[in-house]
């Protein structure tokens, strides 16, 4: 595929050579077993299968590397740690609690979690989540790469909040980029999956071997659903980002705090302009009290109270319900593709019901 094609075009055409077919919509392959000595080199679906090849061709092209898909984002993160076998993982506090749980689960095997700015050595892993859940704080990918590379450490970037549409970690020197496919890549709240995209094809081959051993492969239907969803990734993420930016400006004078990189008040505002192609589709707000934060989701009509993000529908969540370390009055807003004026009115009415708190 022509590497000069833009991401929106790659999302539609990067898999064209994987499985030449007259079908405009790609077929879904459900077979687990393939006849011996076939021209495609297929043997068993835990190792490889055609629908997965198509999806990995698209996701690899979008991130500028080599993609390996998994049954969930958690499976992908765990597989990265199992394959890299780091002595230490340098990571900032907070962010997605599942990543910390995966690192902590490997502590009995000698894996140590250390501060992000700790001294690094050969085999260490720097794990960056940027933007970080739920406050959208940013970490400077290029700066961490410049620190890690001379020490012989690898850099993994969780780019779930940004997607390949808004951020290119491999182009900034990262070794591996991770996404929960369940979120924006799928985009319709109907498919569970994760992906690792490696700059080095040998690293991707190693991750593929780890996947075969652990068995954490995505199912055929989930693979096909993500492939269908990723076709519209650029359209969705750009609209969601524009709406999130509008809502952040609307909410800032009305609540105690708004966390969104579009705002000069956000600590990552300047870095977002350098590192990203847009401030992103997720924002968080803090109300005056925990009671108000717990009550707001029940007053909203368009924002559904649910814990995920990245779908076409807008969601709101009192974050402490899932993450006990989240600020007590913080709500995460995952912006969908509804008309921004309707979402704005929904939030204004909800806040009015709470007395504007």
Task: Give the residue numbers marked as catalytic.
Answer: 46, 96, 158, 183
Instruction: Evaluate whether 331 touches 323 at the Cβ level (below 8 Å).
Output: no
The C-alpha atoms of residue 125 and residue 78 are separated, in whole angstroms, by 13
Q: What is the dihedral of CA 310, 312, 318, 319, to 10 degrees?
A: -10
Stated length of the chain: 357
Nearest alpha-carbon partner for 27 in 8, 64, 58, 52: 52
Nearest alpha-carbon partner for 278 in 161, 133, 158: 161
In the block, residue with structure tokens 């524009």 = 242
Strands 282-286 and 330-334: antiparallel
Q: Identify the H or E element spanning 70.
A: strand 66-70
- Give the sign of the dihedral formed by CA 144, CA 10, CA 232, CA 40: negative
């Amino acid at each position: 595929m022509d590497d000069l094609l833009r991401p929106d075009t790659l999302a539609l055409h990067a898999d064209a050579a994987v499985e030449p077919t007259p079908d405009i919509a790609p077929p879904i392959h459900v077979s687990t077993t393939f006849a011996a000595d076939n021209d495609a080199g297929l043997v068993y679906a835990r190792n490889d299968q055609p629908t997965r090849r198509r999806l990995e061709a698209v996701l690899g092209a979008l991130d500028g590397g080599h993609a390996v898909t998994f049954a969930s984002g958690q499976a992908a993160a765990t597989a990265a740690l199992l394959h890299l076998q780091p002595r230490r993982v340098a990571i900032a506090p907070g962010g997605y609690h599942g990543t910390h749980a995966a690192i902590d689960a490997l502590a009995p095997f000698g894996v140590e979690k250390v501060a992000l700015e700790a001294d690094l050595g050969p085999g260490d892993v720097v794990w960056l989540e940027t933007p970080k859940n739920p406050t959208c704080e940013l970490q400077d990918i290029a700066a961490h790469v410049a620190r890690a590379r001379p020490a012989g450490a690898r850099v993994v970037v969780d780019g779930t909040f940004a997607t390949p549409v808004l951020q290119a970690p491999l182009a900034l020197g990262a070794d591996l980029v991770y996404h929960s496919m369940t979120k924006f890549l799928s985009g319709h709240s109907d498919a569970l999956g994760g992906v690792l995209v490696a700059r080095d094809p040998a690293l991707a081959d190693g991750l593929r071997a780890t996947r075969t051993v652990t068995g954490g492969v995505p199912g055929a239907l989930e693979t096909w659903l993500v492939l269908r969803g990723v076709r519209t990734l650029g359209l969705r993420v750009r609209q969601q980002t524009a709406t999130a930016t509008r809502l952040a400006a609307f909410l800032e004078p009305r609540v105690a705090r708004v966390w969104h990189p579009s705002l000069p008040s956000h600590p990552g505002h300047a870095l977002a302009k350098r590192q990203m192609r847009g401030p992103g589709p997720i924002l968080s707000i803090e109300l005056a009290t925990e009671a108000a934060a717990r009550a707001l989701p029940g007053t909203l009509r368009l924002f559904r109270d649910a814990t995920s993000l990245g779908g076409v529908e807008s969601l709101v969540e009192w974050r402490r319900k899932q993450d006990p370390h989240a600020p007590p009055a913080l709500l995460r807003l995952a912006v969908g593709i509804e008309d921004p004026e309707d979402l704005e009115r929904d939030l204004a009415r909800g806040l009015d019901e709470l007395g504007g708190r």
